[in-house]
Amino acid sequence: MAPSLKPEISSAEFDVLDVIWDDHPVTSSEVVNRLNERKPWHDKTVKTLLGRLVKKQVLGFEKRQRQYLYHPLIARELYAEKETQHFVKRLFKGKVAPLVAGFANQSNLSKQDVDELKAFIEAWENKHD
C-alpha cells in the first residue's frame, strides 16, 4: 500500500487491528482472546475481519506450520495521522483551528491539554520560522 493512501477500515476492523498493534505477531485465536477481554467476539467473525485486513494490505501474515501469524503493515502512528488528516479535511475543510475551538468550547480542556497545545504550536513555529 502506498503511504499516501488511507485504507477504509470499519470500526470492527479497527478493533482487530488495534489489538494486533498492541503486540504482534499474533495468531487468530490470540486476537479473539484479546478482543474477548473487551466484549464477546466470535472466531469466524474475527477470521473474516483478518482476511479483509489482509486483502486491504493493512495486515500481513506468515504461515508457521498450521498457524498464521499476523502483523500490521501500517504503523498505528501513520494510520492515526492519515485518519486525522481525512477527518479534518472532511469535517473542517482542512482547517485545524475550528476543530480545536470545538474541543475548547464543548469540553473542558485541562491545563495539561492547553500546555501541550502551546508546546506543539511553539515547536511548529520554531520549525517554520
The three-state secondary structure class of 31 is helix
Q: What would the mean pLDDT of 65-85 be, rounded to a whole number?
A: 94
Q: Are 92 and 101 in contact (CB under 8 A)?
A: no
6/10 Cα distance (integer angstroms): 12
Q: What is the pLDDT of residue 2?
A: 47
Q: What is the pLDDT of residue 38?
A: 93
Residue with cell 498493534: 21
pLDDT band (50, 70, 90) for residue 3: very low
Question: DSSP character for 58?
Answer: S
pTM: 0.79
